[in-house]
Structure 1
């Protein structure tokens, strides 16, 4: 399975661009910084998912008969 298979297909998509970047020229410190930024973005996305799920559940409970 190709890693790019799961990436969005839009041209100029930032996520696809990040996944294609060559990591060889980066130092260990730069790689650690990159991981920290990506982990923060993952946490932000998970928080958004949690909010969306809870919001939907609240709306469904409110409009249930």
Structure 2
């Protein structure tokens, strides 16, 4: 079962752009875009934690399985 990344859904729910998330988390737009499109090979826990803090969500809100 493939892992699904719902970052775009959380961004829409929070009415936040990828650019704003990038600035607030301290990651490049390119790296966030790779994660958002599901092309990332992995994600560091501290990165996931930072994204969740900014989006006020839990990791399970961003990462799911099909």
TM bracket, shorter-chain basis = under 0.3
Return the structure number with greater strand share.
Answer: 2
More RCO (CA 8 Å, sep 6+): 2
Return the structure number with greater helix share.
Answer: 1
Give TM-score scaled by structure 1 length: 0.27
Give TM-score scaled by structure 2 length: 0.27
Specify the structure having the higher radius of gyration (Cα): 1
